[in-house]
C-alpha cells in the first residue's frame, strides 16, 4: 500500500507535496497524542511554594523538600526541586491554595525528570501525574519486598 501511495505522489508538484506534508504532520501528531493518551489541554502557569515527600526516602529518613510548582493541570503538575528525584518515584506534594489558603495534598508519580542546574545540590524540573491510593500502596509494597 505504501508503494502505491508513494508512486501516486511522485507525479505531484512540489507545492502540493508540501501541503500534503503539513497535513500529514498534523494527522500524525493528533494520532500520536490520542494513541499515547497525551494531554490535549494546556497547563496553568503558576508559582506556588510547596513541599514534597519522596516515598523512596521515607525508608531511611523523613525529609520534606521545598518546591516551587511551575505549572498545574487537572491531573498533573510541573515543579522544581533541589533534591534527587528518580523517574517513577511516588511523591506526596502538599501546598496551600493561594486564593483560599486551603491545604492540598496530592499523591503523584514522577514521569519526567530533567536536571536544570548542576552542582553540589542539583536542581531538577519534575513532571508528575496524579495517582490513586492503590498505586501508592502498590509502590510501598514493592519497596518493602525488594531484596527478598
Q: What is the pLDDT along the chain (148 residues), one digit of tens a residue?
A: 778 888 888 888 888 888 888 888 887 777 765 555 555 556 778 899 999 999 888 777 788 899 999 998 888 899 999 988 889 899 999 999 888 989 999 999 999 899 888 888 889 999 999 999 998 888 888 888 876 6
Fold of 44-145: Thrombin, subunit H (2.40.10)
Write phi, then psi, for 119 (nearest 5 degrees): 145, -165
Question: Would you kindly state where each structural domain of the chain is located, as residue ranges?
Answer: 2-36, 44-145
Strands 76-81 and 65-72: antiparallel
Beta strands in 62-122 (DSSP E): 65-72, 76-81, 90-96, 103-117
Burial class from Cβ neighbours inside 10 Å (0-12, 13-18, 19+) for residue 134 reads: exposed
Are 130 and 106 contacting, i.e. CB atoms less than 8 angstroms apart?
yes
Q: pTM of whole model > 0.85?
A: no
Write phi, then psi, for 41 (nearest 5 degrees): -85, 175
Amino acid at each position: 500500500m505504501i508503494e502505491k501511495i508513494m508512486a501516486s505522489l511522485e507525479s505531484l508538484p512540489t507545492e502540493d507535496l508540501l501541503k500534503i506534508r503539513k497535513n500529514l504532520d498534523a494527522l500524525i501528531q493528533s494520532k500520536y497524542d490520542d494513541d499515547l493518551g497525551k494531554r490535549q489541554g494546556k497547563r496553568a502557569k503558576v508559582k506556588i511554594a510547596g513541599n514534597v515527600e519522596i516515598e523512596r526516602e521515607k525508608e531511611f529518613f523523613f525529609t520534606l523538600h521545598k518546591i516551587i510548582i511551575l505549572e498545574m493541570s487537572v491531573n498533573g503538575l510541573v515543579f522544581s526541586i533541589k533534591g534527587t528525584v528518580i523517574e517513577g518515584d511516588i511523591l506526596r506534594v502538599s501546598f496551600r491554595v493561594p486564593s483560599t489558603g486551603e491545604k492540598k495534598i496530592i499523591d503523584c508519580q514522577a514521569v519526567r525528570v530533567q536536571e536544570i542546574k548542576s552542582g553540589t545540590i542539583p536542581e531538577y524540573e519534575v513532571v508528575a501525574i496524579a495517582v490513586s491510593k492503590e498505586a501508592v500502596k502498590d509502590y510501598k509494597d514493592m519497596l518493602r519486598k525488594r531484596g527478598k
